[in-house]
Each structure stands twice: as C-alpha cells, then as structure tokens.
Structure 1
Amino acid sequence: MSRWIDSWMPGSPAGSDDAAPRTPPGEKFGLPATGVGSVAGFWRRAGGVTIDWLLGYLVSLLFVGASSFDRGSTFGWTIWLVWFAITALSVAVFGSTPGMAALGMRAAPVDGKVLVGIPRAVVRTLLLGVVIPPLIRDEDGRGLHDRAAKTIVIRTR
C-alpha cells in the first residue's frame, strides 16, 4: 500500500505496493504476535528494570546501611554492582530477573539454546547498565544489549 505522500511527490508511482507490510515483532524468530511467548513491550521491560534497580537499592542499603548517603558516589556504585550481580546471575541461571518475573517476562536465547548462560548474561547486563544500548532498538524490539547477547525478551503470561 502506498503512503499518502506518494500521491503528490514527483517521480513516485502513486498507488504502488513497493513497501513491504510490517510484520509483528519477533516473527522472524517464530514468536507469536500477541500473548504468551510474544515479544515484551518497551514499557513492560522498563518496569522490570525499575523493579530490579529498586531491589538493588534496597539490598545495597542492607550492605552499607542508611548512613551511606553522605559518602557521595560510592553508594551509587554499590547500587550498580548489586544490581549487576542480581541481574547477571538471575538471567544466566533462570532467564529472568526478579523484576522480569514480577511482570511476566524472561530473556530467551534466539539461537535455540535452553539457557542464556553466564558469558552472555554478563555482556547483556553490562550493556544494559550503560543505559544507552537498550534505547537503540531494532524492528523486533531488541536493544543493542539483547542483540549482543543473542537474546530476546518474551512474555511469560
């Protein structure tokens, strides 16, 4: 189907069907368009990361105590390291972080393996912790961190 702009742009064939129809995210991986097993949406994923960051914050408070607020950036790095450990280990072993599990998601390998594994979970978590790579997404909703780790986040409910 042609776009509305094709009708008046010089040199463009009005009414041509050159544009390929959009496919649902994850279709090239054999995932359904909706429901269980489909690609998790951006806001669901953002909610899962938020839950994981809050969990990292609470666990960090247990380690260093509430008096750590005056220590400057040290407490921020403690939160990041705790979040990193929780995320990398849980994705490697279970395929899901606590936040992902709470919102009904998991990271699934796209290459047919059963588990993500430790090396790919570490790469995925490092890139996720840098913040920018998850914002650069492809047509399947995979951020650069998922592409590097060869994973895709799918819905479990």
Structure 2
Amino acid sequence: MDNRQAMGSWLSGPRAAIEGAGGELGYRGEQLGLPEEGPGSIARPGRRIGALAVDWTLCLLIANGLITDGYQQATGNWALLIFFVLSALTVGTVGFTPGKRLFGLRVVELGTGRVNPLRALLRSALLCVAVPALVWDRDGRGLHDRLARTVEVRL
C-alpha cells in the first residue's frame, strides 16, 4: 500500500477501509429491517441537520420574542427549554417537529411504527444534552435514538 492509498483509506473512514478489505457491512438500516432507499429508509445526516437547524431557529425566535431584556444567555436557555417542549410534544404526538416535517422526516419506534410519548420525552431530553446525538452507530442512529428505541426515517 502506497501513501496515497493509506491517506485515502484514512480520509474515507473505517467503513471504506472495511469494505476495501473485503468486509460486507450492508446498507444503513438493513439490520433494522428498513428499506435502503425511499420512504421508510434511514434519514440522511444532511436532512437531519437541516431539520434541527430549522427547529433551533424557530425556538430562538420564540425565545427572543419572550425575552426582551437583551440578555443573550437567558435567550439561549429559554430556547433550549422551548426546543425540549417542542420536540417532546410534537414527536410524542405526531412523530415530527416542524423542521422534520419540512425536510420530510419522521421519528418512529422500532417495531410499532409510532412513538410512545415517554420515549419521545426521553429522546428529547437526551437530544438537549447533545452528546448522545453526536455518537452514531453504523446505521446512522444517534445514541439518543438507540436508548429511546426509535429511528428517524424519510416520509
């Protein structure tokens, strides 16, 4: 292996290195029984980040409207609380937030296809902590989804 191959395998990540060595990992969501493409498939990271950006912006606007003293730290704290309530209520009832709906995403519980409100509450609390959302498995699910036994899929 020359330097270019070594650098290329490092840049493309462990999945490419395993597949380059002859290992078969399958597609994202295969182990969960989800389709590879189309409705019901695992949501891609770009859509998920876009939906999160829309939801966070909406929460910041609401918090900014509630807090008019100009203290930015309080606005950020209120936005996080509003985000938690928005996420817990909307995911627990209809399965998506406004941002997820805009990007064509839905949160479903594995096995049932619906989200139990208590699981949505757990998922939202873990999402607000942020660290569980940054740890992903090979299917692209964050730790918050794994612990709540949910998955974010395309509509």
Question: What are the equivalent positions in structure 2 for 1:111-150 lying under 5 Å apart?
Answer: 112-150=111-149
Which of 15, 26, 44 does residue 47 from structure 2 map onto? 44
Q: What is the root-mean-square deviation in Å for CA atoms of aligned residues?
A: 1.9
Q: Deviations over 1:110-146 (max 9, x none)?
A: 1x22421221111111111111211110011000000
Match status 1:91 vs 2:97: no
Shift of 1:72: 4.5
2:121 and 2:75 mapped to 1: Cα distance?
22
Q: Which amino acid letter does the alignment assign opposite residue 68 of structure 1? A: D
Shift of 1:37: 1.1
Shift of 1:73: 2.1
Larger fraction in helix: 2
Q: Deviations over 1:56-109 (max 9, x none)?
A: 111112323xx332x242221111111111111000001111100000000110
TM-score normalised over the length of structure 2 = 0.81
Aligned residue number for residue 79 of structure 1: 79
Q: Residue 40 of structure 2 aligns to a residue in which SS?
A: coil
The runs of at least 4 aligned residues of structure 1 exceeding 4 Å deviation read none
Is the 8 Å Cα contact of residues 63 and 76 (structure 2) preserved in structure 1?
Answer: no
Unaligned runs of 5+ in 1: 6-17
Q: Which amino acid letter does the alignment assign opposite residue 69 of structure 2? A: S
Is the 8 Å Cα contact of residues 68 and 75 (structure 1) preserved in structure 2?
Answer: no
Match status 1:103 vs 2:141: no
Q: Deviations over 1:22-76 (max 9, x none)?
A: 2111112221111111100111101111110011111112323xx332x242221
Aligned residue number for residue 68 of structure 1: 69
Q: Which has the larger radius of gyration?
A: 1
Q: Residue 106 of structure 1 aligns to a residue in which SS?
A: strand
Q: Residue 69 of structure 2 aligns to a residue in which SS?
A: helix
Unaligned runs of 5+ in 2: 7-20
Aligned residue number for residue 153 of structure 1: 152
1:141 and 1:106 mapped to 2: Cα distance?
15
Aligned residue number for residue 33 of structure 2: 30
1:28 and 1:48 mapped to 2: Cα distance?
25
TM-score normalised over the length of structure 1 = 0.80
Is the 8 Å Cα contact of residues 106 and 155 (structure 1) preserved in structure 2?
Answer: yes
Q: Which amino acid letter does the alignment assign opposite residue 85 of structure 1? A: V
